[in-house]
Amino acid sequence: MKPINVGLLGIGTVGGGTWTVLTRNQQEITRRAGRPIQISVVADKDLALARKVTGGACELTDDAFSVVADPRVDIVVELIGGYGVAKDLVLKAIENGKHVVTANKALLAVHGNEIFAAAQKKGVMVAFEAAVAGGIPIIKALREGLTANRIQWIAGIINGTTNFILSEMRDKGLSFETVLKEAQRLGYAEADPTFDVEGVDAAHKLTIMSAIAFGIPMQFDKAYIEGISRLEAEDIRYAEQLGYRIKLLGITKHKAEGIELRVHPTLIPAKRLIANVEGAMNAVLVQGDAVGATLYYGKGAGAEPTASAVIADLVDVTRMATADPENRVPHLAFQPDAVADIPVLPMAEVETSYYLRLRVEDKPGVLADITRILADQQISIDAMIQREPGEGEMQTDIIMLTHVTRERQIDGAIASIEALPVVKRKVIRLRLEELG
């Protein structure tokens, strides 16, 4: 049977892994796909690298646009990344009637609506399992495996760099800055780690999962994003004392008023499985009305784990390429004319529980003033610890956990608390999710 010809754009870490796995497992992949899948042309600016990885076993070029225009190419695999030339290449491939496989979460989160509309119009597929959580098949689970369910919420550890940093801070009691340097030395963090540590990468992935789970357009610009760069080691320690772990979570929930779409450091009960995901691993917890909670765990990055997802998409596209476009699995799980315009809630309207740490003067009446402010905002306290001041110390830390309340009420309470003369620094506020 005639092979499917693939044009591979980018043969860096993931592209090299894709070549290696596809070559190594060619026989099994062919048996599953029903016909051979072969990379017939590779485009990369570094032709020497491309030649080294492929051994010269396929055509090589430094012109990616020639690949998306090549009539011999059936599927284009885009592994370049970024918003710029990658978008132009993907749209040109679609215009030329080619199916696309991509691992580019940033591209889809920001321009996915345009790309999927173009693919729908042209009758081609855009597959993107590798864009979220590396080798974990979370897109297929949301789009197909859980299709009978009304998804209620998703909470995910979807950035391995930040999870490694938080694990090391907890295990060794080190500062963020110290662990970040170690993560960079070990190759877990980029030289410029901003996208990872400030939560942007996780927000890209969460935007995609939210769209599939709830049948809404991609709305990355409405996501609330808060990273871990300002997280202090003592808050990790206090959280442990209270029975919680801190993780950078991507959280999206379908509430009566709209969709929550937020990334931030979050306290999770230590007894939850997801709280015990350590190192650079990823995990996604999905709550469906029929199935309950399901947890997906594995490597969220790396050459071969991500290649596993890329090749799974290649097999899916190969199987479905001849199917009528109306009978294929929709890009965002819901039929295109059934995508709903549900609002994304501003962070001020989100409801959750909170961890508050206050540095205050060690004197009578302080706690009464603080609890009065919380009561005025209708915020109730779930748990509290007060650090014993050392000999000669005139200040102490008070740590409080609240019951569920609205963010704008916490904002109001924090503003009033910080105005008290006895409060000596800005209030540390972290969000808390029971995930029960």
Residue pair 135/298 in contact (Cβ under 8 Å)? The answer is yes
Q: Which of 87, 98, 105, 205 is catalytic?
A: 205
Percent of residues in the chain assigned helix, strand, coil, to nearest 5: 40, 25, 35
By DSSP bridging, strand 244-255 and strand 151-157 are antiparallel
Give ∠ CA 26-3-93 in degrees, rounded to 5.
105
Residue pair 48/60 in contact (Cβ under 8 Å)? The answer is no
Helix (H) or strand (E) holding 249: strand 244-255
DSSP 52-119: HHHTT-SEEES-HHHHHT-TT-SEEEE---SSSHHHHHHHHHHHTT-EEEE--HHHHHHHHHHHHHHH
Calculated CA dihedral for residues 385, 390, 395, 401, nearest 10 degrees: -10
Give the Cα separation of 193 and 205 in Å (integer): 17
Would you call 140 a catalytic residue per the annotation?
Answer: no
Collapsing DSSP to helix, strand or coil, 252 comes out as strand
Catalytic (active-site) positions: 205
